Amino acid sequence: MIIAPSILSMDFSSMESQLKQVKEGGAAWLHFDVMDGHFVRNLTFGPDLLKGVRKLSDLVMDVHIMVEDPAYFAPVFMDAGADGITFHIEACKDLDEARTILSLIRSKNKRAGVSLRPQTPIESLYPILDECDMVLIMSVNPGFGGQAFIEDSLKRISELRQEIQRRGLSVLIEVDGGINKTTGKACQDAGADVLVAGSYVFKNDIPEAIRSIM
Catalytic residue ranges: 33, 176
Task: Give the three-class secondary structure for 185.
Answer: helix
CA 184 to chain centre: 14
Q: Over the Cα atoms of the chain, what is R_g? A: 16
Residue 150, number of CB atoms within 10 A of its CB: 18
Q: Which amino acid is at 190?
A: A
Residue 24, number of CB atoms within 10 A of its CB: 13
Least Cα distance to 112 among 154, 140, 143, 70 occurs for: 70
Instruction: Judge contact between 195 and 2, C-beta under 8 A.
Output: yes
CA 175 to chain centre: 7
